[in-house]
Amino acid sequence: MLTLYQFPISHFCEKVRWALDYKNLDHTRVNVLPGLHLAKMKKLAGNSHVPVLKHNDHAVQGSAKIIDYLDNVFTHKNLTPDEHELKLKASEWEKFADNRIGPQVRLVVYHIMLDYPEIVIPMFTQDGPFYGPFLMKRIFPSMQKKMREYMKIDASTAAKSNADLLESVDNLASHYAQHQFMVGDNFGRADITAAALLAPIVMPDNYGVNWPNEIPQRLLEFSSQFDGKLDWLRGFYQHYR
């Protein structure tokens, strides 16, 4: 029995949803409410963050560890290369995306979206506990303040993350201009990581959250900086998601 504890909006959770779906692993998704997740995840897995995967009585926390676990236990359609050199390369690229893309995308997107509670609350509460929307509306003002403090989100950190992202995306685009995959001849965990963590910029249909009908102009402007540089991501979503 596999259970994924997650936020639908989270791109680190999307990385794991994608890995589970790619490997055709039956699983249940439990959507936890931001804020209320803290105690629940700490009790389940030691730290507060999602994704957490529970397999029978065993809990694994963090997207990379979860993919390690899935490939070790369910050895079909593995996302980790077998060959030592390729495995190291995949791990390097995955760490690059985990550290230099995931947090930066989140910071810029939240810097914008937290100003739009009517958009972000439905995404935070999607398919969660029935009381989620009422509770979230009440706690949102203090929660968004805490989120900004905890993740150090402000105009200057958003500008810095934006600049870092432009560089990282150029780096990926020049790689994918010459190679079909990040590593070797097969689709794998480094591709999933790069594509999932940048997906909020593109908002693919099969990401796992209901994207808003109306996108704030500021978010459109942010995304438009990457026009023409993320075709590889759209291709991965089309062919492998």
Binding site for ligand GSH (CB under 6 A): 7, 10, 12, 38, 48-51, 62-64, 98, 106
Distance separating alpha carbons of residues 72 and 75, to the nearest angstrom:
6
Between residues 10 and 31, which has the closer beta carbon with respect to ligand GSH? 10
* Residue 55 CB coordination number (10 Å): 17
Helix (H, G, I), strand (E, B) or coil at 3: strand
Minimum CB separation of residue 100 from ligand GSH in Å reads 12
Between residues 58 and 179, which has the closer beta carbon with respect to ligand GSH? 58
Minimum CB separation of residue 63 from ligand GSH in Å reads 3
Distance separating alpha carbons of residues 32 and 132, to the nearest angstrom:
9
Distance separating alpha carbons of residues 229 and 177, to the nearest angstrom:
10
Minimum CB separation of residue 178 from ligand GSH in Å reads 27
Between residues 9 and 230, which has the closer beta carbon with respect to ligand GSH? 9
Q: Quick one: tokens of 186? A: 């097969």
Residue with tokens 């550290």: 99
Minimum CB separation of residue 188 from ligand GSH in Å reads 16
What is the Cα gyration radius of the chain?
Answer: 18
Between residues 38 and 177, which has the closer beta carbon with respect to ligand GSH? 38
Between residues 103 and 216, which has the closer beta carbon with respect to ligand GSH? 103
Distance separating alpha carbons of residues 28 and 71, to the nearest angstrom:
18
Minimum CB separation of residue 185 from ligand GSH in Å reads 26
Between residues 104 and 204, which has the closer beta carbon with respect to ligand GSH? 104
Is the preceding peptide bond at 51 cis, omega within 30 degrees of 0? yes
Counting runs of H as helices and runs of E as strands, what totals does the chain give?
11, 4
